[in-house]
Amino acid sequence: MTDTPCPCSPDRLLASCCGRYHQGEKAPGAVELMRSRYSAFALGLIDYIRDTTHPSQQADLDMDHIAAWSHNSRWLGLTLHADAPLQARPPSHSVEFTALWQDTAGQLHQHHETSRFVRFKGRWYFIQPH
CATH assignment at residue 16: 3.10.450.50
Phi, psi angles (nearest 5°) of residue 47: -60, -35
Structural domain containing residue 60: 5-127
Number of domains into which the chain is organized: 1
pTM value is 0.94
One pLDDT digit (tens) per residue for the chain, 130 residues? 568 999 999 999 999 999 999 999 999 999 999 999 999 999 999 999 999 999 999 999 999 999 999 999 999 999 999 999 888 778 899 999 999 999 999 999 999 999 999 999 999 999 976 5
Distance (Å) of CA 97 to CA 30, 31, 81 = 12, 10, 5
